[in-house]
Amino acid sequence: MRVALVCALAVMWLNFALTTRWAHVDRSINGPKRPFFFVALLAASVFAISALRDRQPDRRMSRAAARALAAAGLLFLGYCFVCWFPLSTWRQIPFLDDWPIRYQGAHDMMRLLSSGAFTGWEWRFQSASAIS
């Protein structure tokens, strides 16, 4: 378990240090979220090192510390959710959703299959009178 943790952290540090040339790519860890990723990676590394140094397996976090950590995590997730999905967009229609188009395509294909078409596009069925 400890070897996997150390290997995962090493890969993340290498990824963080060696991928700066892709900082212009949208959602890159070296783009706008670089400071947040650095803080999270540093905290994970510090906690991992302190856990590896501590040889007492029965030492546990207190309930108050666990609740505070859980509350901080939930607050951070809530903040990220509001940043990614701003309140001003909650009443807007999601125009980029393609489910109605997929439904209409599947519906049209079923109607074409019931007419005897075996491929996705038949030129003879292009007229509206043949479909309806």
| Residue ranges of domains in the chain | 1-59, 62-92, 99-131
125 by DSSP, 3-state: which? helix
Predicted TM-score (pTM) of the model is: 0.43
Q: How far apart are CA 17 and CA 8, in angstroms?
A: 14
Q: Give whole-number Cα distances, 64 to 57, 67, 69, 70, in Å.
A: 20, 5, 9, 10
DSSP state of 120: S
pLDDT at 129: 53
Q: How far apart are CA 120 and CA 31, in angstroms?
A: 42
User: Taking each helix axis from N to C terminus, what angle separates 34-53 and 2-18, rounded to the nearest 10 degrees?
Assistant: 150
How deeply is 13 buried, as exposed, middle or buried, from its count of CB atoms within 10 A (0-12, 13-18, 19+)? middle
Q: How far apart are CA 80 and CA 86, in angstroms?
A: 10
Q: How far apart are CA 115 and CA 64, in angstroms?
A: 68
Give the position of tokens 């393609």.
98
Query: What are 70-116's pLDDT values in tens digits?
Result: 999 999 999 999 998 888 887 776 666 667 777 888 888 888 778 77
- How confident is the prediction for the chain on average, in pLDDT? 79
